[in-house]
Chain A
């Protein structure tokens, strides 16, 4: 056959590296994300918008939260919005986008190419990391410049922020990948994912003070990651004196790490077992 003579046999074929393709996927995923107006508004901008509205309304005339002297409202609200941003950019973003890609055939198309699955997930996780970092940076800049929220001054506070951010993002990513198998179609993806995220926001002390919620609601929220991410962020952005005001009387860093790691492992196991490149009705 004339055409096969100049082709390289399967043994001597050098395939592009998984990492290089993963990085290429990050670029492509970033473009897709920021061209999707819904995603930009409801995942990327949402926490910034909420911070602006809540801090403006409840922070008027020096409004504070907690026992006197209290914490200025914007400072009180910031950690919850950072936690929300982490959850939206990782969990909600991946759970909906992968469900849509599975439904519209994008995953099946990719499965038909020599791109390794690992590169696909590297692309997704890289996009989440970049988006989430930019989003959090934006939140901090808005909080610091428009609402005079003091930034942490100690290295240990920034270190706390960093590990809660990274562990929270990692957990949100694997749980989002796992949860993407739940919506039955691309159209229903948002309708299935958003209420989960919204309910968690309400019971996890993001909008309401956690200690003012009924005990059963606190206990329920304590099962899920968002409560712990928010608490971890409070520990980084609140003064040390606020620690006594927590429900547990402490920042509970070991418990925070433990809950997030359990979800990380559960999400990973479920994600690996349940992940499908094709729709349920197509196998």
Chain B
């Protein structure tokens, strides 16, 4: 089952907490060298899955291979080949950036140069600063520095930019783009669509503990999901109510040409728009299209939220 071309292979993974089936037959393969994003709403099972892959949690069923080993029984040598950036932490408050990165480098057989790592995450000017005095974004960069200083073959990033302002997020993406060039395999969880779109070679959408879609960001949801939508308005002759019309089509140009001949008023089609669904539209359609076990009582659709804490509360 361990194909050397895959950094991660997961088949039929299962994990239950009490009466909640957090992971329910999940399948996943991550190629070496790719940046792979796991996308999904709150409580979809993203963090549980990743923490099983990291060896922090035990699974109830299924097979897992990470760098050719089972994380549940993996040893120090295996740990030295992976890097882990957990969800936000506030530990090690009294130590400086320089002390921490240099200290953690000692744990690994073939670490990167700690000063270069500090430089690469943009913390050179903060090297002498204690962790407690760093901003949220700087703190997260330090987490990444500690995750990559061991020169990992595979890096796990669990919601690395939650709570960032847009500028911090973009500079963080630049940091990860730099990592891509070193050939490090990255498995990233996020609930930001633009993040997955920007960074990931492939995206898996997880809902209710299963992968419901897996593709490149551009092709996610299949061709049908990305068909153009033509929108316009129509008013009945004699001044009745205005109707909003919408048509999905593979041939928007032909459709609009035809529309112009039958629906135009003084040569113009009222309210004409031709749009292609964004990744976000596709994603929201995906996680909303089949109700969960049962729809919430107020009938509101499930949406991706800011916070994924639900996965940790039980």
Residues of A at the B interface (CB closer than 8 Å) are 1-4, 7-8, 10-11, 13-16, 20-21, 24, 28, 31-32, 35-36, 101, 104-106, 108-109, 111-116, 278, 281-283
Listed by A's residue number, 26 A-B pairs whose Cβ atoms lie within 8 Å are: A1-B5, A1-B183, A2-B33, A2-B183, A3-B153, A4-B32, A7-B110, A10-B68, A11-B77, A14-B109, A15-B76, A16-B109, A28-B99, A105-B86, A105-B89, A105-B90, A105-B91, A106-B89, A109-B91, A112-B54, A112-B86, A113-B104, A114-B77, A114-B107, A116-B76, A281-B314
The docked-state distance in angstroms from the alpha carbon of A115 to that of B106 is 9
Additional A-B contacts beyond A31-B99, A35-B94 (11; CB < 8 A): A2-B33, A7-B81, A7-B153, A10-B78, A24-B106, A32-B95, A104-B90, A104-B91, A106-B91, A108-B86, A108-B89
Partner of B94, one of A11, A36, A105: A36
**Does the CB pair A106–B92 fall under 8 Å?**
yes
Give the Cβ gap from A194 to chain B, nearest Cβ, in Å: 20
**Does the CB pair A114–B184 fall under 8 Å?**
no
**B102-133 interface code vs A (CB 8 A; 1 in, 0 out):** 01101111100000000000000000001000
B255 at the interface (CB under 8 A from A): no
**Does the CB pair B89–A278 fall under 8 Å?**
no
Q: In the complex, which residues of chain A have a beta carbon less than 8 angstroms from the beta carbon of B106?
A: 16, 20-21, 24
**Does the CB pair A3–B33 fall under 8 Å?**
yes
The docked-state distance in angstroms from the alpha carbon of A15 to that of B313 is 36
Partner of B56, one of A10, A15, A20, A278: A278
Whether A109 touches B86, Cβ cut-off 8 Å, given contacts A7-B153, A28-B99, is yes
The docked-state distance in angstroms from the alpha carbon of A163 to that of B234 is 95
Q: In the complex, which residues of chain B have a beta carbon less than 8 angstroms from the beta carbon of A16?
A: 106-109
Interface residues on B, range: 35 or more
The docked-state distance in angstroms from the alpha carbon of A108 to that of B147 is 13
Give the Cβ gap from A105 to chain B, nearest Cβ, in Å: 4
**Does the CB pair A8–B109 fall under 8 Å?**
yes
B266 at the interface (CB under 8 A from A): no
B13 at the interface (CB under 8 A from A): no
B289 at the interface (CB under 8 A from A): no
Most chain B CB within 10 A, of A8, A112, A278, is at A112
Q: In the complex, which residues of chain A have a beta carbon less than 8 angstroms from the beta carbon of B107?
A: 16, 21, 113-115
Q: In the complex, which residues of chain A have a beta carbon less than 8 angstroms from the beta carbon of B313?
A: 281
Q: In the complex, which residues of chain A have a beta carbon less than 8 angstroms from the beta carbon of B93?
A: 104
The docked-state distance in angstroms from the alpha carbon of A211 to that of B104 is 52
Task: List 4 tightest A-B contacts by C-beta distance, closest first.
Answer: A3-B183, A106-B91, A105-B89, A112-B84
B312 at the interface (CB under 8 A from A): yes
The docked-state distance in angstroms from the alpha carbon of A104 to that of B92 is 9
The docked-state distance in angstroms from the alpha carbon of A113 to that of B85 is 11
The docked-state distance in angstroms from the alpha carbon of A222 to that of B70 is 49
**Does the CB pair A108–B56 fall under 8 Å?**
yes
**Does the CB pair A4–B153 fall under 8 Å?**
yes
Most chain B CB within 10 A, of A14, A105, A281, is at A105
The docked-state distance in angstroms from the alpha carbon of A144 to that of B314 is 57
Give the Cβ gap from A122 to chain B, nearest Cβ, in Å: 14
The docked-state distance in angstroms from the alpha carbon of A108 to that of B68 is 23
The docked-state distance in angstroms from the alpha carbon of A7 to that of B4 is 14
B57 at the interface (CB under 8 A from A): yes
The residue of chain B having its C-beta at the shortest distance from the C-beta of A106 within the complex is: B91
The residue of chain A having its C-beta at the shortest distance from the C-beta of B103 within the complex is: A28
**Does the CB pair A109–B89 fall under 8 Å?**
yes
The residue of chain A having its C-beta at the shortest distance from the C-beta of B80 within the complex is: A114
The residue of chain B having its C-beta at the shortest distance from the C-beta of A113 within the complex is: B107
**Does the CB pair B79–A3 fall under 8 Å?**
no
